[in-house]
Amino acid sequence: MTGATFVFALASGLAIVFALLMVVQKAPVKSVLALVVTFFGLAVLSVQLAAPFIAAIQIIVYAGAILVLFLFVIMLLNLTEEAREKDTRPIQRWLGLVSAVALAGLLLGVTLRAPPAPVLRPGDGPRIPAGDEIPLLGRLLFSDYLFAFEAMSVLLLAAAVGALILSKRRME
């Protein structure tokens, strides 16, 4: 087993196991922590896919900011375990589980089947360079994707303002 295969197996195993743990956990705090480990595994996979910048951004933004925000909200609202009451819709839960598994099987069957050769065309965007791709990404952001970049900044501003207003206590 080569090094790349070993790293892939380790990272994807970690990601899948902790994703399962996240879904199974009753306490929200431990769910968030399990998801952090999943994101680490995904970041390692991104590095293997020649996207180290995305891996760094994933850790900094997703694991380091968004999930910390989750943790803050959970701790400030003091949400401990999920309530121990009886589940009012057990059949719906079972249906949900079965449909998720069925969807997984369906998607796996579709994506893993080898398509006929003409379907896969070379991308018409800029190629992944052999060395450092970060300057190229920066150039792309400000040329081809400039509109999306500016729209994103407006979106983030709107989200920040919206979050502030939504969580304000009403002054009566």
Partner 1 sequence: MSPELFDVLAAAGKIAFFWAVVLVAYLPNVVWAERRIAGLIQDRPGPNRVGPFGLFQSLADVPKMFLKEDVTPLFVDKLLHTVAPTIILVPALTTIAIVPFGSSLTIAGREIPLVIADVNIGFLYLLALTSISVYGIVIGAWASNNKYSLLGGLRASAQVISYELSMGLAAIGVFVSAGSFRPVAIVEWQAAHVWNCVPQALGCIIFIVSAFAETNRIPFDLAEAESELVGGYHTEFSAFKFGMFFMSEYANMFAAAAMIVTLYFGGWSLPFLAVTGNAGGLLSIAVFLAKVFVWVFVFIWVRWTLPRFRYDQLMALGWKVLLPLSVLNLLVVAWVVARGPGAP
Partner 2 sequence: MNVLPGVAPMGVPPEAYLAVGTILFAIGLAGALLKRNALSIFLSIELMLNAVNLLVLTYGRMRGDLAGQMIVFFVIAIAAAEAAVGLAIFVALFRARGTVEVDKVNLLKW
Q: Does 90 bind partner 2 (CB under 8 A)?
A: no
Which partner in partner 2, partner 1, none is near 50 (CB below 5 to 8 A by kind)?
partner 2
Which position has the token pair 């199974």? 24
Q: Does 44 bind partner 2 (CB under 8 A)?
A: no
Helices 3-24 + 28-48 axis angle, to 10: 160
65 or 171, CB closer to partner 2?
Answer: 65
The region of 69-77, 105-113, 115-123, 141-149 touching partner 1 under the rule CB under 8 A is 69-77
Please enumerate in sequence order all residues whose Cβ is within 8 A of that of 123, keeping only pairs 6 or more positions apart, or say none.
none
Which partner in partner 2, partner 1, none is near 84 (CB below 5 to 8 A by kind)?
none
Length of the chain: 172
Q: Does 89 bind partner 2 (CB under 8 A)?
A: yes
Q: How far is CA 82 from the centre of its chain?
A: 23
Please enumerate in sequence order all residues whose Cβ is within 8 A of that of 1, keeping only pairs 6 or more positions apart, or say none.
9
Which position has the token pair 């375990």? 81
46 or 171, CB closer to partner 2?
Answer: 46
Q: From its phi and psi, is residue 101 left (phi > 0), alpha (psi between -120 and 50) or beta?
A: alpha
Which partner in partner 1, partner 2, none is near 33 (CB below 5 to 8 A by kind)?
partner 1
Q: Which residues bind partner 1 (CB under 8 A)?
A: 29-30, 33, 36, 52-53, 55-57, 59-60, 63-65, 68, 71-72, 75-76, 131-135
